[in-house]
Amino acid sequence: MKPRCIPLALFLLTPSLVAQEDGATRRLTEQARHFEERVVHVTDNVFTAVGFSVSNVSMIVGEDGVVIIDTGMSLDDAQRIAAEFRKHSDKPVKAIVFTHSHGDHTGGTAAFLGDGRPEIWAHANFGSEARPLVEGGVTFQRVRGARQAGFRLPPEERINNGIAPVRYPKRGAAAFASDEETKPTHFLEGERQAIEVAGIELELVSSPGETNDQLFVWYPAGRVLFAGDNFYRSFPNLYAIRGTPSRSVRLWADSLGKLAEHGADALVGGHTDPVLGASEVAQVLGDYRDAVRFVHDKTVEGMNKGLTPDELVEYVQLPERLAGKDYLQPFYGHPEWGVRSVFNGYLGWFDGNPTNLFRLSPKSEAERVVKLAGGTAALLESARAALATQDNQWAAQLADYLLAIDKDDSDAKRIKADALTGLARNMVNATARNYCLTVARELREGTDPNGPPE
């Protein structure tokens, strides 16, 4: 069944009607209950701040100090969290643990430093995901990242990012700035390491998944797992559409298995509210592990049959027992992206079809399609007809042919923008939704994607 197109004007002028009509919008809005702003008392001496920042920040209270796990996206967010934490303990911060190097988990570190610099723990591979991009001089990922996050969209067009509330970076500032004082001082070098700080015994465990520098924290006294971004209440982002070096889906599943082995009473993910209760934690981690492992194993099975990535996304369908779980809905990641990432990680860009070894350029292919259609005017009319029947994906693809021939074709831009808007309104995946709406805005307004977010 083709997704219904909801015109942009209808969305802007009658949001209540759209909320009734658009199931994806409603589902994504309801997902926000998992990151409403609050401090969760996870167990004795353990508190997690949810919704104050893009990521969760946790505090464990010890004998003569506290340990902070992740620090939020920005200094402003972290200062508010620190103030909330002081309502529960005014002991000094003796250590900070980064579950991984993403800036939304490390950007608020300065708010927790205090007078004496605490130990700052991280994986020995800290920063390994971004390093190839920096060393290779790749910068366009920032544009794609802004599209994925919806930074260029007005507030009325951003619902949330699927696993966290809406935030905008400050104009003119580095998105996740840091200095020497906020860099790690201690590192997890091997598979696991026990540490003791302020009378708090913790175990840091290497857990590659969303990043290769991921670790999780096991607090045995409270039987609490701090999973970092290997878990949150959404299908995991096995591939980020902003563009990232390959994430090993197989290792991610293995890391989830290691988490499940602990028999925890509480699970604190990198985003969304904690999972409480031993039976619930066991169920969630088991399902999460099984879903990631299924995507990997079923994709490999199809690859060994000679299926291409386009064929594999139809071949690999989560079993209903997993697909129906609310914490495996594609609010942030999507199974299809995981399938393509697995294929590319093992076999690279070539899909196995020799026709695709030396494809026609987009313009050359478009010129032939125009000829088949009976000319540019006929193709444009077909694109308009597709849009009128809410066949938005096809309308966008036809518009791409027209834009390959003339990138300034205003009619094609308008059709593609409307098609992307129609697609977005029916997407429950927040990052895809933001990306489509942002590109639609760029097409309508002639926005420079390399310019600063508004």
Question: By residue range, what is the domain housing residue 220?
Answer: 36-145+163-347
Least confident span in 115-129, 266-280, 419-433, 437-451: 437-451
Spatial CA neighbour of 27 closest among 282, 326, 285: 326
**CATH number of the domain enclosing 221:** 3.60.15.30
> What is the model's pTM?
0.91
Structural domains in the chain (count): 2
Q: pLDDT value at position 22?
A: 73
Q: Are residues 438 and 416 in the same domain?
A: yes
Spatial CA neighbour of 96 closest among 108, 87, 84, 88: 108
The number of C-alpha atoms within 13 Å of 419 and in the hemisphere containing its C-beta is: 24
Strands ordered across the beta sheet of 186-188: 38-43, 46-50, 57-61, 66-69, 93-97, 119-123, 186-188
Least confident span in 18-27, 93-102, 116-125, 332-341: 18-27
User: What residue type is 234 in one-letter code?
Assistant: S
Q: Considering the chain, what percentage of its residues have pLDDT values greater than 90?
A: 88
Q: How confident is the model at residue 1 (pLDDT cuts 50, 70, 90)?
A: very low
Q: pLDDT value at position 170?
A: 75
Q: How confident is the model at residue 171 (pLDDT cuts 50, 70, 90)?
A: low
The Cα 372–Cα 365 span in angstroms is 11
Q: Are residues 19 and 41 in the same domain?
A: no
Q: Locate 172 and state its tokens.
A: 């003119």
Q: pLDDT value at position 116?
A: 79
pLDDT one-digit tens code per residue, 182-222: 999 999 999 999 999 999 999 999 999 999 999 999 999 99
Q: Considering the chain, what percentage of its residues have pLDDT values greater than 70?
A: 92
Last residue in a domain, options 319, 347, 375: 347
438 belongs to a structural domain = yes
Q: In this model, does residue 27 exceed pLDDT 90? A: yes
Q: In this model, does residue 240 exceed pLDDT 60? A: yes
Q: Are residues 22 and 40 in the same domain?
A: no
198-236: string of b/e by CB count within 10 Å (b at 16+)? bebebbbbbbbbbbbbbbbbbbeebbbbbbbbbbbbbbb
355 belongs to a structural domain = no
| Beta-bridge mates of residue 66 | 61, 93
49 belongs to a structural domain = yes
